Structure 1
Amino acid sequence: MFGNHMKKTVIAACATVASLSLLLAGCGTDSSSGKTQIRFATWDVAEDVDRQQTLVDQFNESHDDIKVTLEAYGSDFDTKISAGMGSNDTPDVMYMWNYPSYADGLEPLDSYIEKEGSDWKSDFYSTLWNYNSYDGKTYGVPVGFTTHALYYNKDLFKQAGVEAPTNDWTWTDLQKAAKKISSKTDAKGFSFQMKPDPYDFEMYLWSNDTAYSDENGTLEGNIDSAKAIDTYQMFQDMEKDGSAVATEGNGTDEFRAGTTAMYIYGSWALNTLDEDGLNYGVVDIPAFADSDHDSVSILSSSGISIAKSSKNKDAAWEFIKYWANADSNKARIGSELPVLTSVVESEGITDKSQYKPFYSMLEQSDGYSPSSFKVKGWSEISDKLALSFEKMYNPSTLEDPASAITEALK
């Protein structure tokens, strides 16, 4: 997953290569060692890169014919991958999530996956393949993910005399609890982002039986449907009645400080909250009372892909298989949630109360595809939608949601 700070020392790949033409060919084969050279780009930083370097070293030690060099791009990842694709200098293997933007520069992996057999593919949670595919082709092998879940502060709930959230809560239950906590303590009951990432926010529409778009990517009549407006309105109403606060960030700072009792976020916060010693719990996202299904979560998925321009695709696939195998999954626990059902079972991941909701939300969210995979020109729509959200939820404006959302359609 993306970190917040660049690693101070970026590991430069192929730095000793004297020939520019050899570099542009993707480092090819090192004539001095006879090994096929593979460049591997990661977006991670700091200790996560150190863990990855250890895994890369283990791969290199166990392969006489392939040498992988790790390139840590940090927050420059998208810029460098885009530039690489434009100049035919793309790393052979790279982390990936934004398949609609990068699919033209990636190698379809369906034939490689098919050769591994059905048992190999079926060990991955099936929902994850939806997020690593685009336009009917698979472009990435899942290596990590997070769904979202509801975090709550046990001490604030106890202080307010409110029963702790459960997995069968509805938004009505959350609203009642938030009001009581706000009136009985110095904290707000709930917090949400003032300018939420539109990609993430669509999960609330899914839970309320709607979406930004239909299967053809049509926004009109969907993003502004009655149920969509009701969903936007629900968050604003909580802000207006004082039971919730719209935050500038993702809500983790307020939750850590004890100024809010509940918020919804991915598993990224777990390590930080554990280090803080915060007395917290995690449960499924609440469902809508009048919906006939469980709540749904968006996925933030880490995949690993091969560049279409790679001259060494078979060697790249060997490395991908290694990076996606059970031992590598186990080694990355703590920085990425395991994607293999066998590892989740063997390591007892879902026996841990703080992890279990992220997996139940994963299973509840099977079959949903983000509008970013269906709507042409999504990045422009996303920018407009983010501004519409800010107009709805900024306390200085609190614009009518029906009015604010029409501006995203212009």
Structure 2
Amino acid sequence: MKLVKMKSIFLLFIAAMLLLAGCSLSSNESGTDTTKDGKVKLRFATWDVGDDVDLQQGMIDKFNESHENIEVVLEAYGSEYDTKITAGMGAKDAPDIMYMWNYPTYKDALEPLDSYIEKEGAEYKDNFYETLWNYNSADDQILGLPVGYTTHVVYYNKALFDEAGVEYPQAGWTWEDLQATAKKLANKETKVSGFAFSGKPDPYDFEMFLWGNNASYVDEEGNLKGNLDSKESVEVFEMFQNMAKDGYAITTEGSGATEMKSGKVAMFVYGAWGLNPLKEAGIDYGVVELPKFKNGQSVSILSSSGISISKNSKHKEEAFEFIKFWTGEEANKARIDFELPVLKSVVESEKLEEDEMKSVFYSMLEKSEGYTPASFIVEDWSQVSDNLNYVFESIFNPSTLMDPKEALKSAAE
């Protein structure tokens, strides 16, 4: 099977740099020790750009003003984030604090936070949604405090539903319901499709559909065979392929958001990233929980971000003081227009569980506890992901439409 090479090469580079960093963690430490006026200096790396960085700098200024002995300096890496973080780790000059998502890759260079969290007490930890800890851990160690997250939901265009005289979907619906609804909404004359999904789905995201049908890519030992190619897994791929083959659904380059903005798609699956863009585009839309399979349940993958401490930082206690602030109530509220809060207390105080849109993401969050993505289990996930990308495209590409059973069997071997 032909692999997409670039991602694998980059991950190998990361692994090599982290190995070099790991070999010298005991004898070298990162960061400048203090500022000229004797304050502890902490470097904080963010992947954000634009307005997000302005917001972050304002929050950092507030922290610095309230801490006489600590000065946090923001380093905005943007699209070069992974490259710069990896280079810093390899050169033993990683930022003290950094945003994090790919814990399995960077785990050896990150400070375990379990003991720090334990000192804060059970009430502190319990204020975070339980599901989030699984996505900010590796090898049974917590390596980051949750900062933001999104689950996935179904977005639907209310105007298209109204025009077709179709009732809006409700929580508890099934994939059979979605298909029946999509058929009613599809209109060849107006070129409206009832449902859209990516023809090149991200393997990380797509696994949630398998979970919903009591399947997964791998078992606890990381074995693909008997899992990726299981009967339940094949059923999921056949369902999506058949929706496109039958003409009431389309495959898209992205999630389907662009097509909904143009008024040509009635439903698609996406995270909270779609809320503001669709609103700004003037689309009258709603969101609903993901459908469930006959013998399954509604469950979503999480896209989660955290904040971590470099294992070789000289000032870990001060760094933890900052990441506590960064994930506290004030910071959660400050970022509320950019990402979903991770603290139960903020969700309650801001009445987000009563919010017509955002409450659905929290409902999906609670339903999705206890699932671990294959990327956290498989050691060579980058290569597996590349293989799955190729297989998924061959299944959903209109010019190939490979038989899912045969394609998945080949991939599992």
Instruction: Please report the TM-score for the alignment, with normalisation by the length of structure 1.
Output: 0.92
Which residue number in structure 1 is paired with residue 371 of structure 2?
Answer: 368
Question: Is 1:99 the equivalent of 2:103?
Answer: yes
Q: Is the 8 A contact 1:329 1:340 kept in 2?
A: yes
1:198-250 alpha-carbon deviations (Å, 9 max, x no partner)? 01000000000111111121111001100000001110000000011110122
Q: Structure 2: which amino acid aligns with 1:374?
A: I
How many residue pairs get aligned? The number is: 385
Which residue number in structure 2 is paired with residue 277 of structure 1?
Answer: 282
1:258 to 255, 263, 270: 263
1:261-305 alpha-carbon deviations (Å, 9 max, x no partner)? 0000000011111112210000000011232xx310000111000
Q: Unaligned regions of 5+ residues in structure 2, if any?
A: 1-27
Aligned-partner Cα distance in 2 for 1:289–1:223: 19
Q: Structure 1: which amino acid aligns with 2:407?
A: A
Q: Structure 2: which amino acid aligns with 1:321?
A: K
Aligned to 2:187, what secondary structure does the other structure show? helix
Q: Unaligned regions of 5+ residues in structure 1, if any?
A: 1-22
Q: Structure 1: which amino acid aligns with 2:61?
A: D
Task: Measure how far apart 1:355 and its partner are.
Answer: 0.6
Which residue number in structure 2 is paired with residue 244 of structure 1?
Answer: 249
Question: Is 1:159 the equivalent of 2:193?
Answer: no
1:75-116 alpha-carbon deviations (Å, 9 max, x no partner)? 111111111111111110001011100001100000100000
Q: Structure 2: which amino acid aligns with 1:277?
A: G
1:25 and 1:106, CA in 2 relative to 1: closer, same or farther beyond 3 A?
closer
Q: Is the 8 A contact 1:66 1:315 kept in 2?
A: yes
Aligned to 1:156, what secondary structure does the other structure show? helix
Percent identity, please: 58
Question: Is 1:228 the equivalent of 2:264?
Answer: no
Aligned-partner Cα distance in 1 for 2:303–2:388: 19
Question: Is 1:394 the equivalent of 2:397?
Answer: yes
Aligned-partner Cα distance in 1 for 2:327–2:191: 46
Which residue number in structure 1 is paired with residue 25 of structure 2?
Answer: none
Q: Is the 8 A contact 1:162 1:181 kept in 2?
A: yes
Which residue number in structure 2 is paired with residue 144 of structure 1?
Answer: 148
Which residue number in structure 2 is paired with residue 18 of structure 1?
Answer: none
Task: Measure how far apart 1:403 and its partner are.
Answer: 2.0
Which residue number in structure 2 is paired with residue 67 of structure 1?
Answer: 71
Q: Structure 1: which amino acid aligns with 2:339?
A: E
Question: Is 1:129 the equivalent of 2:133?
Answer: yes
Aligned to 2:196, what secondary structure does the other structure show? strand
Aligned-partner Cα distance in 2 for 1:323–1:306: 12
Q: Is the 8 A contact 2:29 2:312 kept in 1?
A: no
Question: Is 1:330 the equivalent of 2:329?
Answer: no
Aligned-partner Cα distance in 2 for 1:376–1:24: 27
Which residue number in structure 2 is paired with residue 354 of structure 1?
Answer: 357
Task: Measure how far apart 1:24 and its partner are.
Answer: 7.4
Q: Is the 8 A contact 2:30 2:94 kept in 1?
A: no
Q: Is the 8 A contact 1:384 1:407 kept in 2?
A: no
Question: Is 1:342 the equivalent of 2:326?
Answer: no
Aligned-partner Cα distance in 2 for 1:270–1:183: 25
1:347-366 alpha-carbon deviations (Å, 9 max, x no partner)? 01121111111000000000
Q: Structure 2: which amino acid aligns with 1:254?
A: E
Which residue number in structure 1 is paired with residue 181 of structure 2?
Answer: 177
Q: Is the 8 A contact 1:43 1:74 kept in 2?
A: yes
Q: Is the 8 A contact 2:30 2:95 kept in 1?
A: no
Aligned-partner Cα distance in 1 for 2:62–2:410: 53
Task: Measure how far apart 1:186 and its partner are.
Answer: 2.7
Which residue number in structure 1 is paired with residue 213 of structure 2?
Answer: 208
Aligned-partner Cα distance in 2 for 1:200–1:248: 15
Question: Is 1:85 the equivalent of 2:82?
Answer: no
1:406 to 382, 405, 409: 409
Aligned-partner Cα distance in 1 for 2:164–2:359: 26
Ranges of 4+ aligned residues in structure 1 off by more than 4 Å: none
Aligned-partner Cα distance in 1 for 2:398–2:295: 29
Aligned to 1:399, what secondary structure does the other structure show? coil
Backbone CA RMSD of aligned residues: 1.3
Q: Is the 8 A contact 2:257 2:274 kept in 1?
A: yes
1:128-182 alpha-carbon deviations (Å, 9 max, x no partner)? 0011111110000001100000000001011112111111110001001111111
Which residue number in structure 1 is paired with residue 317 of structure 2?
Answer: 314
Task: Measure how far apart 1:407 and its partner are.
Answer: 3.7
Aligned-partner Cα distance in 2 for 1:161–1:181: 9
Which residue number in structure 1 is paired with residue 385 of structure 2?
Answer: 382
1:13-58 alpha-carbon deviations (Å, 9 max, x no partner)? xxxxxxxxxx97401112x211000000111111111111110111
Aligned-partner Cα distance in 2 for 1:407–1:85: 38
Question: Is 1:289 the equivalent of 2:267?
Answer: no
1:377-410 alpha-carbon deviations (Å, 9 max, x no partner)? 1110001001111001111111111222234335
Q: Structure 2: which amino acid aligns with 1:29?
A: T
Aligned-partner Cα distance in 2 for 1:198–1:313: 35
